[in-house]
Amino acid sequence: MNSKKILLGNEAIVRAALVSGVSYVTGYPGCPSAEIGDEFGKIAKENGVYAEYATNEKVALESAIGASFSGLKSLVNMKSFGINVCSDALFPLAYTGTKAGMVIVVADDPSCYSSAQSEQDSRGYAYLSKIPVLDPSSPQECYDFTKIGFDISEKFNTPVILRTTTRCAHQRAVVEFQEINPSTSSGPRKIGNFSRNPHQFSTMPPRTLEMKNELLEKIKKIQAYTEESELNPIRKPSASNGAGKISGKQNKIGVIVSGVSYLHVLEALEELKLDLPILKLGFFYPLPEQKIIKFIKPLKKVLVIEEMDPYLEKDIMQLAKSENLKTEIFGKNILPRTGELDAEKVCVALSKLTNKKFIAFKTRNLNLPKRTARLCEGCPYWYILPTVKRLAPEGTIFGGDIGCNMIGALPPHSMYDYMFCMGSSIGISHGIKKSLQLGSGQASEQKVISFMGDGTFFHSGIAGMINAVYNKSNPLMIVMDNRITAMTGHQPNPGMGKNLMGEDAPELQIADIAKACGIKNIKVLDPINQKEFEDTLKEFLEKDEISLIVCKRICALLARRIEKNKSN
């Protein structure tokens, strides 16, 4: 039985995975994909699904591989940078293939709304890993493509990447979906069964090279499948579309588009009163090459519309060249390569190709004050950042990390001298300290302080800390433990005593881990006690070996939420 409901793209993915029979869900919280894991955490038990947040994306993918090898369908969710973290496991997985279906959701963030480090286009991993990539444009397609992704995974024994973007994942729309039958979805979890098969599961030469050849053959079969796939529809010009018919040279112009940009194209065509043929590529990799050639062959001009990097544009130009076609391919020469696209930007590009008059809307200068992100009222970081900035010696180098502490880079703090990726603050600070050493090996007097949150510490900060201990470095490390993974929406982490499904779990102590890794100077304190914090800071800044201060105080928003739940 089918129903209709207004859903986020991420919520549509959850419903599709359930209908597809997913049994194992894992990932790491990151905007714009966090709602997938959060929703599964709420409904997993009643639907017979196991759901978790792993310590990082690499571990998440590895555990999903174990589930797949044991015969369970799995879903892995992460944001764009997560695929970088898990790529060590991703590439050999393409070689071994899967036993049960697996969909890997990777959410990109054009315009960097929640991704300060870079505007990453994760589609490039398709070429590196040779894993099929689907590119939905709407919540309905998030649902449909997830189901199809599991079908493709099962049919070809391959993982499938579902690549979304912020505008797709966080878009709300009416979605038609299949209701889940409670009699089949609830109850005990499905139990996997692992059967030894080192011929498939173990990547060791010379078998590895055989696997690569098998993968290349598999991609050929998937490419043949894409030629007939419903994910790559052609929208032909028709008066029934409600747009004005065009004549002359304009009827030799077409559009090839993927992802959420398809919706911008529809809006732009309506605005310009154009009715152009459109090839919508939901299957980003491998491409339906013959379908593309057939589409562009009768056209004089084709506009390729995609956000960020011109992957499609380059492939289509190469196809046109290989067929000796005279079709002119346009793309990033008239469309921006940076930031999100929108209907207006598409209108501007189409107007240049069709000579249709279009006047871009110009926002009035309202002289509104510019605002930057700020720490929440009552945030424990208000007790930490100003105090460190005030007491640190002149010339101290400050390193930031990913999470709420990123805001330390902005006014009124304006502290950080560098900020890169999850867990990097300690790794970079070690490199700086080693570089500042005098020729005799004596450490420089210039201080380096690295900040990171508790979630980041468990994600990837531990390895950098061990490296600093092992190689005799002496930065001061401050872990801001607010008892939650706060910035991405209050997800659990290994230090808070609960897992994703709300079950009690071991509460790992940051100080105990640091001590086991060889750090001798450790202090756990509540930063609201300013005298203790100041005294510890002054003492540890004089140490000639790595030191750690764990500032432990609950996130203010989480504290209010807990109090509200108690009162209810």
pLDDT tens digits along 73-100: 999 999 999 999 999 999 999 999 999 9
Taking residues 509-536, report their average pLDDT: 96
C-alpha span between 350 and 358 (Å, rounded) = 9
**The dihedral formed by the CA atoms of 74, 77, 82 and 85, expressed in degrees to the nearest 10:** -20
Taking residues 361-365, report their average pLDDT: 59
Cβ(256)–Cβ(292) under 8 Å? yes
C-alpha span between 238 and 232 (Å, rounded) = 18
Instruction: Answer with the residue of higher pLDDT: 7 or 116.
Output: 7
pLDDT of residue 353: 92
Taking residues 220-232, report their average pLDDT: 96
Residue 532 has pLDDT above 50, yes or no: yes
Give 170-218 pLDDT, tens digit per residue.
999 999 999 876 554 445 678 888 899 999 999 999 999 999 999 999 9
Q: What is the 3-state secondary structure (H, E, C) of 520-537?
A: CEEEEECCCCHHHHHHHH
Contacts with 423 (C-beta within 8 Å, 6 or more apart), sequence order: 401, 452, 456, 457, 459, 460, 461, 462, 463, 464
Taking residues 51-63, report their average pLDDT: 96
Residue whose C-alpha is closest to residue 455's, from 419, 429, 485: 485
Residue 319 has pLDDT above 60, yes or no: yes
C-alpha span between 205 and 419 (Å, rounded) = 39
> Which pLDDT band holds residue 441 (cuts at 50, 70, 90)?
low
**DSSP one-letter string for 53-93:** --SSHHHHHHHHHHHHHTT--EEEEEEHHHHHHHHHHHHHH
C-alpha span between 377 and 375 (Å, rounded) = 7
Residue 245 has pLDDT above 50, yes or no: no
C-alpha span between 355 and 468 (Å, rounded) = 61
The whole model's pTM is what? 0.92
Q: Phi, psi (5° rounding) for residue 231? A: -80, -5
Residue 477 has pLDDT above 60, yes or no: yes
344 token code pair: 């207006």
Residue whose C-alpha is closest to residue 138's, from 261, 299, 297: 261
Beta strands 278-280 and 234-235 are antiparallel
C-alpha span between 315 and 207 (Å, rounded) = 31
> Which pLDDT band holds residue 243 (cuts at 50, 70, 90)?
very low
Instruction: Report helix angle 207-227 to 139-156, nearest 10.
Output: 130
C-alpha span between 274 and 269 (Å, rounded) = 5
494 token code pair: 């290994």
C-alpha span between 461 and 510 (Å, rounded) = 11
Instruction: Answer with the residue of higher pLDDT: 359 or 356.
Output: 356
Least confident of 48-57, 58-67, 250-259, 464-473: 250-259
> Which pLDDT band holds residue 322 (cuts at 50, 70, 90)?
very high
74, 186, 195 from 44: Cα distances, Å = 13, 9, 26
State the chain's mean pLDDT as an integer: 91
**DSSP one-letter string for 404-435:** GGGGGGSTTT---SEE-STTHHHHHHHHHHHH
> Which amino acid type is present at position 142?
C
**DSSP one-letter string for 464-498:** HHHHHHHTT---EEEEEE-SSBTTTTSB--TTSSB
261 CB-side CA count, 13 A: 29
> Which pLDDT band holds residue 565 (cuts at 50, 70, 90)?
confident
CB burial of residue 495 (10 Å; 0-12, 13-18, 19+):
buried
First to last CA, the chain: 36
pLDDT of residue 440: 55
189 CB-side CA count, 13 A: 18
Residue whose C-alpha is closest to residue 562's, from 482, 501, 508, 493: 482
CB burial of residue 264 (10 Å; 0-12, 13-18, 19+):
buried
pLDDT of residue 364: 53
C-alpha span between 20 and 365 (Å, rounded) = 50
363, 401, 457 from 494: Cα distances, Å = 47, 18, 10
Residue 439 has pLDDT above 60, yes or no: no
Percent of the chain scoring above 90 in pLDDT: 82
94 token code pair: 């393409």
Q: What domains appear along the chain, each with residue ranges and CATH number?
A: 2-180+200-227 (3.40.50.970), 234-354 (3.40.50.920), 381-567 (3.40.50.970)
pLDDT of residue 187: 54
Angle at Cα 500 formed by Cα 509 and Cα 381, nearest 5°?
A: 50
pLDDT of residue 251: 66
180 token code pair: 């889940």
pLDDT of residue 274: 93
